[in-house]
Amino acid sequence: MAIYNTLPVYKTSYSFLLKIFQFTKNFDREFKYTLGESLKNETIAMISNIYRANSSLSKGRLLGLARENLEVVRLYLRLLKDLKQINLDRFIFLNEEIESVSKQLCAWQKVSI
């Protein structure tokens, strides 16, 4: 087992990605292949940056990129809520997950500087 799999932020991010894949299945066709794909790709990029940061000596830049990815994900979710592709309860649930990842990334970045 790779060491990054044991990172709490990786576990939380991966769980979030699985939820995103489940939720995007129900999007209208117009949004499934545009915003849905972008949301999945941005979340995958975030997890990739978390992995790279864990294996890098200089983690700060990569953690910053992961945090940027997360903010873009937050923007996409807000847009999807406004376009009525996710309801308010799901939006709140996903934002709680985002907040958890965000706090973990901030804490990790602080100790890595």
Q: How confident is the model at residue 19 (pLDDT cuts 50, 70, 90)?
A: very high
Burial class, 65, CB count within 10 angstroms (exposed 0-12 / middle 13-18 / buried 19+): middle
Asked if the model's pLDDT at residue 5 lies above 80, the reply is no
- Residue 7 maps to which CATH number? 1.20.1440.60
Give the domain extent around 57. 3-112
Contacts of 27 (CB under 8 A, 6+ apart): 35, 36, 80, 85
CA angle 31, 32, 33 (to 5 degrees): 95
pLDDT at 36: 96
Q: How many domains does the chain have?
A: 1
pTM of the predicted model as reported, rounded to 2 decimal places: 0.91
Q: Please say whether the beta carbons of 70 and 101 come within 8 A.
A: yes
Asked if the model's pLDDT at residue 113 lies above 80, the reply is no
Asked if the model's pLDDT at residue 48 lies above 50, the reply is yes
